[in-house]
Amino acid sequence: MVLRHVATEVGITERAVQRIIADLEEEGFLVKEKIGRQNTYRIILDRSLRHPIESHRNIGDLLKLVSK
């Protein structure tokens, strides 16, 4: 999905989506791959959540929960 479409769906600016993606990439939750002129992002599913209370869970667990 193009970042512009993500911004529209979520109801925030495209620039805000870019900042969030950059933060997630910097923290190691996403890996960016350049394919031609487009960036493709891969989610690191086994990456632990940041907060100490939730650190025993990973991104994959969270995505399973919200995708039901």
9-18 confidence digits (pLDDT tens): 999 999 999 9
For residues 40-67, average pLDDT? 92
For residues 37-61, average pLDDT? 92
Separation CA 27–CA 44 (nearest Å): 11
Please compute Rg for the chain using Cα positions. 13
Give the β-pairing of 38-43 and 30-35.
Answer: antiparallel
For position 60, what pLDDT does the model report? 95
31-48 confidence digits (pLDDT tens): 999 999 999 999 999 999
Domains in the chain with CATH codes: 3-66 (1.10.10)
pTM for the full model? 0.78
